[in-house]
Homo-oligomer: A and B are copies of this chain.
Amino acid sequence: MREEHLMKTCSETDTKGVLKIVEDVLAGNIRAVARLIRDIDNGRPETRSTLKALHPHTGNAYVLGITGAPGVGKSTLVDQMVRHLRKKEKTVGVLAVDPSSPFSGGAILGDRIRMQRHSTDQGVYIRSLATRGQFGGVTQSTIAAIDVLDAMGKDYIIVETVGVGQGEIDVVKSADTTIIVVIPGMGDGIQAVKAGILEAGDLFLINKSDKEGARRTLMDLTTMIEMNPDKYKNGAWKPPVLMAEAKYDKGVVALLNKVEKHREHVKFLPASLKRQYNEERTRTELTEMIKKRIVEDVLKDLALSGELKNAVDAILDGTKDPYSACDELVLPKIRVERT
């Protein structure tokens, strides 16, 4: 009786807590936003109710994905883009997805410091996502953080990722416009973007275009795009390749103009195509969410029950092979028609 009462009080407080956070986020309260994104990044399950409640307030922001290998100048580019968008009085959120470690924190810090010029500007919110969560889930955390910045009322959300790894490709796929950044002379030009991320590119940018090999890289990228003529039939968007020197603000306005072109293009797609496009995106996002959730729940259960530790011991003692151990751990935990 008493326990039941306690539980009720507790869940009432929870609901009130969620409403308060939602209210604060919608009002653009920076602290509430920061705390919520931190909790999402740490994979705290209680953020789910907040995200559910925020969802009806999303869908207004335009999401730009920016991806490229380390060292291509993504942060500098984003910095300039933010500056130009602010001139037009657009509010901007920036999410820098850094699958990083404390060990290498210095470099990230360095990147972020460059953005400090916006730190007193209420219209800009910049945030790194460490995605250090025990169970991975970079995609799901990033999508949730986008929802938060969207709900808080940002006009543009720029998501910056190091474009390698399946998770990051999925992040990029859920942007409205995806920009792939390369620099001249990295390997054979193409090397730098060989991570399956190419198809996701709506715009290609060759940054540091004063460097040797820029024309070669331009040719390589153009050739690769032309190699897929079927893809661009029926008025489909054909990704342009642009040159820039973001450090000196060269080519950044041209890039933003192309972004608007792409935005218009998608806006005026026939309804059936648009539905198909949204369907793919929604399916990817939902799938990521499901993946993270089941992995989290099942692994937590296996860890807490001690079953994982017992299996590891059995493998180390040589009494069980890892493949059989996996079968024995997983099968009792899932309820599916066909396994």
Which A positions have Cβ atoms within 8 angstroms of B?
A: 48, 51-52, 55-56, 69-71, 98-101, 103-104, 106-108, 110, 131, 135-136, 138, 162, 164-169, 186-188, 190-199, 224, 228, 275, 278-279, 282-283, 285-287, 289-291, 293-295, 297-302, 304-305, 308, 311-312, 315-316, 321-327, 329-330, 332-339
Contacts and interface: CB of A to CB of B under 8 A. Distances in A.
A56 B321 CA distance: 8
A290 B286 contact: no
Given A55-B323, A103-B228, 18 more contacts: A55-B321, A70-B186, A70-B191, A71-B186, A166-B167, A278-B316, A283-B308, A283-B312, A285-B322, A286-B311, A289-B322, A290-B329, A297-B334, A301-B336, A304-B338, A305-B337, A333-B335, A333-B336
Contacts of A165: 99, 164-168
B198 A103 contact: yes
A194 B98 contact: yes
A158 to B, nearest CB: 19
Given A104-B193, A168-B165, A325-B286, A335 B332 contact: yes
Nearest to A295: B291
Number of copies: 2
B99 A195 contact: yes
Contact of A290 (B186, B275, B283, B299): B299
A188 B114 CA distance: 14
Contacts of A190: 104, 106-107
B103 A199 contact: yes
Contacts of A103: 196, 198-199, 224, 228
Q: 9 smallest A-B Cβ distances: which pairs?
A: A165-B165, A71-B187, A101-B196, A301-B336, A55-B321, A164-B164, A107-B194, A52-B323, A70-B191
A107 B188 contact: yes
Given A164-B162, A166-B167, A316-B275, A297 B339 contact: yes
